[in-house]
Structure 1
Amino acid sequence: MSTVLRPSWHFTTADRWLNDPNGLVFHDGTYHLFFQSNPFGPEWGEMSWGHATSTDLVHWTDLGTAIPALPDEMVFSGSAVVDTDDTAGFGAGAMVAVYTSAYRSPSPRAGVQAQSLAVSNDEGLTWRRYEGNPVLDVGASDFRDPYVFWHEDHWVMVVAESVDHRLSLYTSRDLRSWAFSSTVGPAWTTEALWECPALLTVPTADGDRAWVLLLSVNPGGPTGGSASQYVLGDFDGYTFVPDGDESPRWLDYGHDYYAAVAWGGVPDGRALTIAWADSWQYARDLPSAPWRGAMSLVRQLDVVTGTDGVRRLRQRPVLGGHEGGGPAVTHLRLPCGHGTSASVRLLDDRDQQTVVLTVDGDAGTLSLDRSGCGEMPPAATAVAATAPLPASEEIDVTIIVDGSVVEVFAADGTITFCERLLATSPLSRVEVREVSRRR
């Protein structure tokens, strides 16, 4: 079998498994990306935190394993903060990782998931576990993925009670002692696991900021597999209240966008996220070369209000001023009003691999079909990814093709697709095959 193309701007490891992003933090001019990784190869297992850094959010340096699994503990997802004021007593400016200890035999806590700390005093290069771990243990088997941030005068942790379809919020003054505050849910999607929450503020068009809760569910996404959602609301430091009776919207309509979380400590107020560009339905079965798993592009978020008066999250790719020096980036405007349609094909030089983007004005949909670009594993859902379009006569579309990943940003960034491909040759051509007006 031919080798699947490795992307260049979507972060991959050299030779090991990668899944959820963890510990996103900006410090002293450097963006830190930690992530779930198996140090020993391209299969899921021995979950540890890998580490990569960047100064432009496009080019990444892989620093290997940061927090390794132990015989009695795997290191599941979490977050990281810079404790500037030394609230925890580990030293001013210490980088503190808050992660889920997934205990296993021979631990007496085997089967329990609890929240623990690891500390770095050298910019994340070396780590030591806190001797008082775990710092939050309720004796549960599905209690994971803490997202921690500073709010006014205390730390806040949002953590998933995965099988109970609930998020719990805790507060702390020192990162070591945590008090229960409130819950979100159970509500919304109750047939799926809840994982990898994040709670952050994002800019709005009027210069204010809005609270956004991110949540990943598995399965039950728009294509049937794992996916990420968002809901707007209000947060007073202790309780998050969704806007009205609003249900979450999909953060991405593609097959491959999961565990989206946000960077902390970004000095200019930007809201920046990244996700795992894969699906739990088939990630273990994708060909490796010898890497397996990729991250999405970094996205910058804000909230916009549509002509229908509805507030939505807008996502724009962070290209770092490098457009034209890497993956193929195509900007289009396509008709989407009633009686119109458009079809855009992404092809390799031999017309043997094809991805098709279709605008259907009558149905009011935008669809991305990857079925012509290699045969996905049997567990992969075969449906094309489809999103509803806003009422308009024209739609803007940006398509980014990077090796075996394609991302689409449409309708001013309020609709996105992220798709893994089995591309073995570059999709270097873009053809607008048909634009018609039906009478």
Structure 2
Amino acid sequence: MAYQEPERQQFHFSSRKGWLNDPNGLCFYQGTYHLFYQHNPAAVHWGPMHWGHATGTDLIHWQEQPIALYPDESGAMFSGCAVVDEQNLTGLGVDPASPPLLFFYTCAGKPFTQNLAYSLDGGRTVVKYARNPVVPNLHGGGERDPSVAFDPASGTWRMALYLGDERGDFALLESADLLNWRETALFRIPNGGRECPELFQIADKTDGKLRWAILEANGNYLVGDITDGRFQAEHAGIFMHRSGLKGGYAGQTFKNPPDGRRLYIAWQQDYIRGDAFSQSMTLPVELKLV
């Protein structure tokens, strides 16, 4: 009966078994889209977080893969992102034809830290970095949900990090090698911006200029530029409206897309809770800046 239950949506991804929430590590790598996600395989409610994994070629048909990240003695595996280390800046790669696929995730221990895992076989097997954490706890709170993007203007990598519900703000960090990070700025997202930042560049359709955008879990966003490690916001708004406490939440866009489109998937918060599974993802949508 798996995937055929009468209450299971047929066009929205859901895990064969257990609970699902935030999409993680959305990326395109050598012909395949990867959808990782927050996952409790043992129950139909939130619990010890793993990273589930599914792959596909058309963003609609997904093949569920073995679990990618398991909780360990340091804590549960909270949300994060994926990037392709094309230049092997980390030195983790062994084959130039298959650059490392890097996963930045929050280890929800005491304290929360930002950790690194990697794959050298296109996501089939994932190994935790031996020298974790790559970002220690910076401000003493529930810091989580790293989002990493390359900044071509400076030739460095940027990380947006939520600093926890106690503070409600975000940090911007910088790295030249994806391993050593330094904080460059703190900022807020209007209208109660909360967790799961998503940082990327997108071309403005009106003038073709690349702008930086940062989204948060509820759909609030900032658009602007990053100068000297600081986010200079020019516009703020909301692109997604939820119905009460349900609807799209904590979405991400696919890194390294083959056609340059900014494709977005979120957790579709809903009331569906079968005997075997609960929750699903939204359908993919394309984001544009006008």
Structures share fold, TM-score greater than 0.5:
yes
1:124-182 per-position Cα deviation (integer Å, ceiling 9, x unaligned) = 11111111111111253310000011112111110001221211011111221101111
Q: Secondary structure of the equivalent of 2:117?
A: strand
Q: Distance in 2 between matches of 1:94 and 1:206?
A: 36
Q: Distance in 2 between matches of 1:299 and 1:77?
A: 21
2:71 to 69, 72, 88: 69
**Which residue number in structure 1 is paired with residue 214 of structure 2?**
213
2:283 to 292, 297, 300: 297
Q: Distance in 2 between matches of 1:294 and 1:207?
A: 37
In 2, are the aligned partners of 1:231 and 1:248 still within 8 Å (CA)?
yes
1:318-345 per-position Cα deviation (integer Å, ceiling 9, x unaligned) = xxxxxxxxxxxxxxxxxxxxxxxxxxxx
1:28-65 per-position Cα deviation (integer Å, ceiling 9, x unaligned) = 11111110001223221110111111111111111031
Q: Secondary structure of the equivalent of 1:277?
A: strand
**Which residue number in structure 1 is paired with residue 92 of structure 2?**
90
Amino acid in structure 2 at the alignment position of 1:100 = T
Amino acid in structure 1 at the alignment position of 2:118 = V
In 1, are the aligned partners of 2:112 and 2:144 still within 8 Å (CA)?
yes
Q: Please say if 1:80 is aligned against 2:82.
A: yes
How far does residue 260 in structure 1 lie from its aligned partner after superposition?
Answer: 1.2
Alignment of 1:302-381 (within 5 A): 302-304=288-290
How far does residue 247 in structure 1 lie from its aligned partner after superposition?
Answer: 4.0
**Which residue number in structure 2 is paired with residue 268 of structure 1?**
259
Q: Distance in 2 between matches of 1:247 and 1:205?
A: 17
**Which residue number in structure 2 is paired with residue 242 of structure 1?**
233
Range with bigger deviation, 115-124 or 206-215: 206-215
In 2, are the aligned partners of 1:4 and 1:288 still within 8 Å (CA)?
no
Q: Secondary structure of the equivalent of 1:269?
A: coil
Q: Distance in 2 between matches of 1:4 and 1:69?
A: 32
In 2, are the aligned partners of 1:203 and 1:270 still within 8 Å (CA)?
no
Range with bigger deviation, 231-240 or 88-97: 231-240
* 1:237–1:50 Cα change, 3 Å: farther
**Which residue number in structure 2 is paired with residue 184 of structure 1?**
187
CA-based RMSD: 1.9
**Which residue number in structure 2 is paired with residue 34 of structure 1?**
36
Q: Secondary structure of the equivalent of 1:182?
A: strand
Q: Please say if 1:156 is aligned against 2:158.
A: yes
Q: Distance in 2 between matches of 1:213 and 1:203?
A: 14
In 2, are the aligned partners of 1:101 and 1:114 still within 8 Å (CA)?
yes
Q: Distance in 1 between matches of 2:287 and 2:38?
A: 24
Q: Distance in 2 between matches of 1:94 and 1:154?
A: 17
Q: TM-score with structure 1 length normalisation?
A: 0.60
Amino acid in structure 1 at the alignment position of 2:240 = L
**Which residue number in structure 2 is paired with residue 47 of structure 1?**
49
Range with bigger deviation, 251-260 or 7-16: 251-260
Q: Distance in 2 between matches of 1:6 and 1:35?
A: 18
Q: Distance in 1 between matches of 2:73 and 2:175?
A: 30
How far does residue 188 in structure 1 lie from its aligned partner after superposition?
Answer: 2.4
**Which residue number in structure 2 is paired with residue 99 of structure 1?**
105
Amino acid in structure 1 at the alignment position of 2:285 = R
Q: Distance in 1 between matches of 2:228 and 2:32?
A: 28
Q: Distance in 2 between matches of 1:268 and 1:83?
A: 19
How far does residue 237 in structure 1 lie from its aligned partner after superposition?
Answer: 6.9
State which structure, 1 or 2, has the greater radius of gyration over its C-alpha atoms: 1
Amino acid in structure 2 at the alignment position of 1:20 = D
- Structure 1: 4+ residue segments shifted above 3 A: none
Q: Distance in 2 between matches of 1:30 and 1:197?
A: 24
Q: Distance in 2 between matches of 1:247 and 1:210?
A: 13
Q: Distance in 2 between matches of 1:157 and 1:293?
A: 28
In 2, are the aligned partners of 1:165 and 1:189 still within 8 Å (CA)?
no
Q: Please say if 1:277 is aligned against 2:268.
A: yes
Q: Distance in 2 between matches of 1:63 and 1:121?
A: 16
In 2, are the aligned partners of 1:273 and 1:298 still within 8 Å (CA)?
yes
How far does residue 120 in structure 1 lie from its aligned partner after superposition?
Answer: 0.8
Q: Secondary structure of the equivalent of 1:196?
A: coil
Q: TM-score with structure 2 length normalisation?
A: 0.89
Q: Distance in 2 between matches of 1:52 and 1:10?
A: 13
Q: Distance in 2 between matches of 1:167 and 1:8?
A: 36
In 2, are the aligned partners of 1:147 and 1:158 still within 8 Å (CA)?
yes
2:240 to 251, 257, 269: 251
**Which residue number in structure 2 is paired with residue 127 of structure 1?**
126
In 1, are the aligned partners of 2:191 and 2:220 still within 8 Å (CA)?
no
How far does residue 4 in structure 1 lie from its aligned partner after superposition?
Answer: 5.5
* Unaligned ranges ≥5, structure 1: 104-109, 217-226, 305-439
Amino acid in structure 2 at the alignment position of 1:231 = L
In 2, are the aligned partners of 1:151 and 1:237 still within 8 Å (CA)?
no
Q: Distance in 2 between matches of 1:154 and 1:234?
A: 14
Q: Secondary structure of the equivalent of 2:159?
A: strand
